[in-house]
């Protein structure tokens, strides 16, 4: 499953590179800052939108696939298929989940970062490093715990055991 995910993600970055000449791919893989003219043109934003659009079905296919393959002994192709179908059938719940995740992992830390930077007059890099640690210690475990809860709600009926 991991090799297929890596190959699909690389293919998505290559497709997005057609929109911006590879600036997004270079930023994601090499950490290079795009040139100012690329940022001003909006091409990198268009490439990011293409990448996100193509990543959605990939993420849907992989959301439950490891659990289905490991706990239910499904072959990888079936695990990917049933994971995609489960996400598609529960798209409303995943939309709410995604929006809540964006708020918890992006919006709130950004607001906190701005407020702390303004109030404490600390350097932006110091505050950003502190917020990164906070997100990693608080938000990441919560997200990982939510994976199991969503699996249980979608695949485990009231009379079944959890695994």
Dihedral in degrees, nearest 10, Cα atoms 136, 139, 143, 145: 90
Highest mean pLDDT out of 42-51, 62-71, 119-128: 62-71
What is the rounded distance in angstroms from the CA atom of residue 22 to the CA atom of residue 13?
Answer: 8
Tell me the pLDDT tens digit for each residue of 31-41: 888 888 877 88
**CA-derived radius of gyration, the chain:** 19
**Mean of pLDDT values over 3-22:** 91
- pLDDT of 78: 96
- Coil vs helix vs strand at 33: coil
pLDDT band at 124 (very low <50, low <70, confident <90, very high): low
pTM to 2 decimal places: 0.78
CB-facing half-sphere around the CA of 118: CA atoms within 13 A:
6
Which of 146, 157, 2 has its CA nearest to residue 70? 2
- pLDDT of 161: 58
Q: How is the chain split into domains, by residue range?
A: 1-77, 90-163
**Mean of pLDDT values over 85-90:** 96
- pLDDT of 60: 95
Q: Decide if 64 contacts 88 (C-beta within 8 A).
A: no
């Amino acid at each position: 499953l991991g090799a297929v995910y890596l190959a699909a993600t690389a293919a998505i970055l290559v497709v997005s590179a057609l929109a911006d000449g590879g600036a997004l791919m270079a930023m994601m893989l090499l950490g290079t800052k795009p040139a100012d003219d690329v940022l001003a043109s909006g091409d990198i934003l268009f490439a990011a939108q293409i990448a996100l659009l193509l990543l959605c079905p990939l993420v849907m296919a992989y959301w439950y696939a490891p659990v289905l393959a490991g706990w239910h002994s499904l072959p990888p192709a079936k695990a990917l298929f049933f994971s995609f179908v489960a996400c598609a059938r529960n798209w409303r719940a995943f939309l709410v989940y995604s929006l809540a995740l964006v708020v918890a992992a992006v919006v709130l830390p950004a607001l906190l970062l701005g407020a702390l930077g303004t109030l404490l007059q600390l350097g932006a890099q110091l505050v950003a490093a502190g917020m990164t640690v906070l997100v990693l210690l608080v938000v990441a475990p919560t997200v990982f715990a939510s994976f199991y809860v969503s699996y249980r709600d979608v695949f485990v009926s009231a009379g079944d055991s959890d695994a």
